[in-house]
Amino acid sequence: MISMRYHVVSITAVFLALAVGVVLGSTAISGRLLSGLADDNGSLGREVTALRVERDGLDARLADADRFAGTVGPLAVREQLADRTVVLITTADTRPGDRDGLVELLRAAGAKVTGEVQLADSFTDPGKADQVLDLVARLQPAGTRLPTGADPGTRAGGLFGSVLLLDQATNQPRATPDEAAAALGGLASSGFVKAGQVPQPAHLAVVLTGGAVAGDAAADRAAVVARFATQLDRSGAGVVLAGGTGAADGTGAVGVARADTAATSVLSTVDHADTAAGRVVVVLALREQVEGRAGRYGVAGNAEGPAPGMAG
């Protein structure tokens, strides 16, 4: 007769055998799995190394190209802006090196840089839009008219155009020196521009920005700069809006301007002004503005070509 003890021992033996089988099977599978993972890891490591070498090579080639552009740039733009005056307007995120490099190249092109106005970070702050609108209305010189646009970028562009750019038809200032000083001084005392010497009115202007704008209000801030530059262009002989890496995407002023067909019909944009080659393109784009034409230049996907006269 089979006893209860026999049943217990038999069942225990079965479960023990299953356990041993599971352990042995998982050990074999784990070994194969680990071996496969090790092979994959080695392969990925070699791919990463190859890509790193390729990236370093491309970086070196870009650095060489930028040095070359820096060397030949002054020759490429020589006399392109002879007898022209240019005012520079920079945003809070503009890199000093980009600004200095552009000023040097403008002078090499024969232009006289009449000065610089630095916009403060608060200028593009959406929370201060009403304050900008009110201030612009009070500072507008007598005899000049504000644009009809209700946004702060457009209104401020109208004010800056009246005090910083010569009338294209008469080649004469629109405001007196005292009116220009009062307008920029009022903006400076309210924290919207950095205090500095008031530039003389110029034929042309460059609005120079950094790259992509960060933060929750990035698109709104970029829109202020884009509309500002567009309206400024309508006030004088020509304006170029230039930015660095990332400026042409949706959170950069260049990208916002390029998405607006009304802006691109008058305003030239450059998306790589943080390179020597890009600064050369800024000067060439200014020359194109003098001739009454506009374009989108640079290396971003929404550029029409690398430079004026060069289709993408």
Q: Mean pLDDT: which of 19-28, 135-144, 303-312 is highest?
A: 135-144
Domain boundaries, the chain: 1-76, 80-297
Kindly report, residue by residue over 219-242, the tens digit of the pLDDT.
999 999 999 999 999 988 999 999
Q: Range with the lowest mean pLDDT among 24-28, 112-116, 196-200? A: 24-28
pLDDT at 71: 78
Per-residue confidence band for 132, with pLDDT thresholds at 50, 70 and 90: very high
Q: What is the percent of the chain with per-residue pLDDT over 90, rounded to a whole number?
A: 65
Instruction: Flag whether pLDDT at 14 surpasses 70.
Output: no
Instruction: Flag whether pLDDT at 62 surpasses 60.
Output: no
pLDDT at 178: 96
Averaged pLDDT for residues 287-310? 94
Report which of residues 289 and 56 the model is more confident about. 289
SS3 of the chain: CCCHHHHHHHHHHHHHHHHHHHHHHHHHHHHHHHHHHHHHHHHHHHHHHHHHHHHHHHHHHHHHHHHHHHHHHHHHCCCCCCCCEEEEEECCCCCHHHHHHHHHHHHHCCCEEEEEEEECHHHHCHHHHHHHHHHHHHHCCCCCCCCCCCCHHHHHHHHHHHHHEECCCCCCECCCHHHHHHHHHHHHHCCCECCCCCCCCECEEEEECCCCCCCCCHHHHHHHHHHHHHHHHCCCCEEEEECCCCCCCCCCHHHHHHCCHHHHCCCEEECCCCCHHHHHHHHHHHHHHHCCCCCEECCCCCCCECECCECC
pLDDT at 64: 46
CATH annotation of 80-297: 3.40.50
Per-residue confidence band for 33, with pLDDT thresholds at 50, 70 and 90: low
Per-residue confidence band for 2, with pLDDT thresholds at 50, 70 and 90: low
Averaged pLDDT for residues 31-58? 67
pLDDT at 51: 61
pLDDT at 13: 47
Report which of residues 207 and 14 the model is more confident about. 207
